[in-house]
Structures are given as structure tokens and as C-alpha cells.
Amino acid sequence: MLVPPVLALLAACGGSATHQARELSQNATSWEATGRLTIKLLRRGAVPGRYAMQTLKVVSRELAKTRQGAQKLSP
């Protein structure tokens, strides 16, 4: 009963460059989408401006981190 989750976890151990690249790409997609949703909701008046500004700052910081990660990965 325990074998499938534990084996699956151990198989995921291999931290290859492809895996890291996929993770970086997921991060970029996620933060870009967060930024887009924040702006959309700000325009609709669904979130306060102060919150939107703070969130967009976080988005830009996280995207910069992702870019740095991608630069380290590229040969």
C-alpha cells in the first residue's frame, strides 16, 4: 500500500536540468498569470489599489528571481 507513493517520491528525486527548467517555466507562468489576474481585478474595483501594488511588486520580484534562475541554467 505504501510502495506507490514512496517509489513515486523517490523517482522524483532526480533533479535534472530539464526538471529545473520545467519548474522555472511553471513559476514564470504562475507569476505572470497572478499579475494579469491582479490587474484585471483592480480594473473591476474588486481589490484595493494598495493591495494590487503590493502584489504586483511581489510578482515582479518573483519573475526577476525566475529570470536569474533561467540564466544560471543556460550554458
> Which are the contacts of 70, defined by CB distance < 8 A and separation ≥ 6?
21, 24
CB of 63 to other proteins, least distance (A): 12
Q: What is Dmax (Cα atoms) for the chain? A: 50
Nearer to other proteins, 10 or 74 (CB): 10
SS3 for 12? coil
CB of 57 to other proteins, least distance (A): 9
Interatomic CA distance for residues 62 and 43, integer angstroms: 23
Interface residues with other proteins (CB under 8 A) are 1-2, 4-6, 8-13, 15, 22-23, 26-27, 29-30, 33-34, 36-38, 41, 44-48, 50-51, 54-55, 58, 62
